[in-house]
Structure 1
Amino acid sequence: MGDIAKDLTAGTVGGIANLVVGHPFDTIKVKLQSQPSPAPGQLLKYAGAFDAVKQTVAAEGPRGLYKGMGAPLATVAAFNALLFTVRGQMETLLRSEPGAPLTVKQQVVAGAGAGLAVSFLACPTELIKCRLQAQSSLAEAGAVSRVALPKGPMDVARHVMRDAGVKGLFKGIVPTMGREIPGNAIMFGVYEAVKQYMAGGQDTSGLGQGSLILAGGLAGGALWLTVYPTDVVKSVIQVDDYKKPRYSGSIDALKKIVAADGVKGLYKGFGPAMARSVPANAATFVAYEITRSALG
């Protein structure tokens, strides 16, 4: 079984683990990010993460926390397989000789290359997921226009292409790249740095699952701590109306968010994102490493 096939398989398993563990946290994150600023004298729809969970479960049941999971589940194999495969091929190019371990700097470069590759798959997937997750805030716009809200991933895609063509699925590609390229560079760099620190050198093959969980969790936390404001900009652009958009682009969205809510507006939903990042990314890396090792 070739290295590419092994990375494809292990990346798929890692992606599924990430999705199952992290999607409820992601749903709450998007709901908090996308809720509109209230009118003067009015309160926000959600007072915080716990309130968002309560309202979601009360209105839709526990399955509401997994709303929008169809889109990433349908593409999780391709997304994570691409991420880890490109990273693996980048590692091969960067090695001084076959089998040689990579430095932390080389892992940063490999992660950045993988991030660039997955941006073009992540953008339409994230757009569909975010629009489904944020339907409670989009409902007001739907009621005004008397247009029925889409019921699932394929329905969202049809609505988007009807309003904006295929290019509409790539709305938010700039902030998506602004998240994926530096985010994956940091994630893979931190993951390797923590592993090498615990192993006392570049040979990390002897580390146990506990060490991998710690390294993966810290790597995920570092990713979101760095790119979270970019993710907020991406989310508000992707749930924006196509016919009457509030934002003309990433910079405009950034300015309007800060003008309306201050810098803290760029950290809406930060709690759920960080709560998700540690277990979800730990699950991803452990599942990947175990599967990759089992494949030889």
Structure 2
Amino acid sequence: MSADFWAGYLSGAAGILIGNPLDIIKTRLQAGSSAVTAPVPETTATTGFRPVTFQGAFDSARTLVRGSAAPILGYGALNALLFVTYNRTLEALDDNPLLPKKLFNTWIAGAAGGLTTFVVSAPTELIKCRAQVSSGSVSSWSVARDVWKHEGIRGFYHGGGVTSARDAIGYGFYFYSYEWSKQTLTSPTDTDHQTAFKILLCGGLAGIATWVSVFPLDVIKTRVQTQLLHHHTLPHSTEHSTLLQPSTLAHSDGEVQASRRLNSIAIAKQAYRNEGTGVFFRGLGVCSVRAFIVNAVQWAMYEWMMQLLRKT
């Protein structure tokens, strides 16, 4: 494997370990309180939860790592694929990945990398978000098993369109803002300590710029992927359904009827109608804090690993 593959993989896994607690808060704030349901058996991937505050986002110590298994494996692979595609695209554009001559090329290469990661990011995000907003003790593995059992491979790609759009736009700004700030702030005369500090700063700023540019899309993605899932009784039926339904409509007589899964546009319209423009920026503050910390560490580890692997 190439140096940028392993550097990307390890830096991505490290970022997830550091940022998972804040990511849980961000996901729960984005999903909102519209999908509330009672706890169900652990084998069911429920996405209902009560409205959360910053302090109330963690119901136990296990919550700190809830939903992290899938991202650690998936996001490591995603980050590796991202950096490999980014570097190869820059080379195809006759530019130098170590010091790009044209910053616009970094946006194009970043967007190409973001689109390439769709095959990994869509299922990883879906599993992570459903596990994080669960009202019960639901692991990433039980969510994945449930999706596979009831929906098949297609179930892992609900919200895939908005996920790919978010990734392409976001990673375009991610690499653009990192290279711009790096070329602006760093100097060949910097000491090793100065360079390390500036890399951390540039990585953090790139993380914030990325999320600001795509946060409304991320809110929509989260809501599409965490639509209410639970067992229910169909109208005029004496048997409980064994299938997981995407959403439900309650009737005045207490019966519950299955409804179709909403797409990204319908979710966006519903969110705006019910909660206003502010809903598309809910959780941006905690996300920005997380983005600065995680991406500062990720870029520092990536740069360090690349130097180390080039020497060996």
> Which range, TM-score by smaller chain?
0.7 to 0.9
Q: Quick one: which amino acid aligns to residue 52 of structure 1?
A: G
> Using a 3 Å threshold, how does the CA distance of structure 1 residues 23 and 108 change in structure 2: closer, same or farther?
same
- Cα shift at 1:6: 0.2
The residue type paired with residue 28 of structure 2 is K
1:13 aligns with 2:18: no
Superposed displacement of residue 194, structure 1: 0.5
Shift of 1:47: 5.5
- Offset of residue 30 of structure 1: 0.9
The CA deviation at 1:17 is 2.0
Any unmatched runs of 5+ in structure 1?
A: 140-148
Letter in 2 for 1:18: G
**Aligned counterparts of 2:147 and 2:107: Cα–Cα separation in 1:** 35
Q: How does 1:154-169 map to 2 (within 5 A)?
A: 154-169=141-156
Match of 2:240 in 1: none
| Higher Cα Rg, which structure | 2
Aligned match of 1:35: 32
Cα distance in structure 2, aligned partners of 1:265 and 1:211: 34
Question: Residue 297 of structure 2 aligns with which residue?
Answer: 283
Contact 1:228 1:270 (8 Å CA) reproduced: yes
What whole-Å deviation, never above 9, does each CA across 1:58-87 have from its counterpart, x for those lacking one? Answer: x312x3121000111122331111111111
Following superposition, the deviation at residue 153 of structure 1 comes to 2.1
Match runs of 1:1-296 below 5 Å: 5-37=2-34, 45-46=50-51, 48=53, 50-53=54-57, 56=58, 59-61=59-61, 63-96=62-95, 101-136=100-135, 151-199=138-186, 208-240=195-227, 241=229, 243-245=245-247, 247-296=261-310
SS in 1 for 2:67: coil
Percent of pairs with identical residues: 31
Letter in 1 for 2:178: Y
What is the SS of the residue equivalent to 1:295?
Answer: helix
Asked whether the equivalents of residues 95 and 102 of structure 1 are also in contact (C-alpha less than 8 Å), the reply is: no
Query: What is the one-letter code of the residue matched to 2:284?
Result: F
Distance 1:205 1:11, change over 3 A: farther
- For residues 272 and 178 of structure 2, the distance between their equivalents in structure 1, rounded to whole angstroms, comes to 32
Secondary structure of the structure 1 residue equivalent to 2:28 = helix
Compute the displacement of 1:155 (Å): 1.9
- Relative to 1, partners in 2 of residues 1:255 and 1:249: Cα closer, same or farther, differing over 3 Å? same
Q: Which residue of 1 aligns with 2:44?
A: none
Separation in 1, partners of 2:170, 2:98:
26
Q: RMSD over aligned Cα, in angstroms? A: 2.6
* Post-superposition offset of 1:99: 7.2
Q: Which has the higher contact order (CA 8 A, sep 6+)?
A: 1
Whether the 8 Å CA contact 1:37–1:260 is kept in 2: the answer is no
In the aligned structure 1, how far is the partner of 2:148 from the partner of 2:210? 32
Q: Which moved more, 1:241-250 or 1:275-284?
A: 241-250
Deviating above 6 A after TM superposition, structure 1's stretches of 4 or more consecutive aligned residues are: 97-100, 203-207
Cα distance between partner residues in 2 of 1:80 and 1:262 = 34
Q: Which amino acid aligns with 1:254?
A: A
- Paired residues of 2:13 and 2:76 also in contact (CA < 8 A): yes
User: 1:27 Cα deviation (Å)?
Assistant: 0.6
Amino acid of the residue matched to residue 84 of structure 1? Answer: F
- TM-score in terms of structure 2 length: 0.80
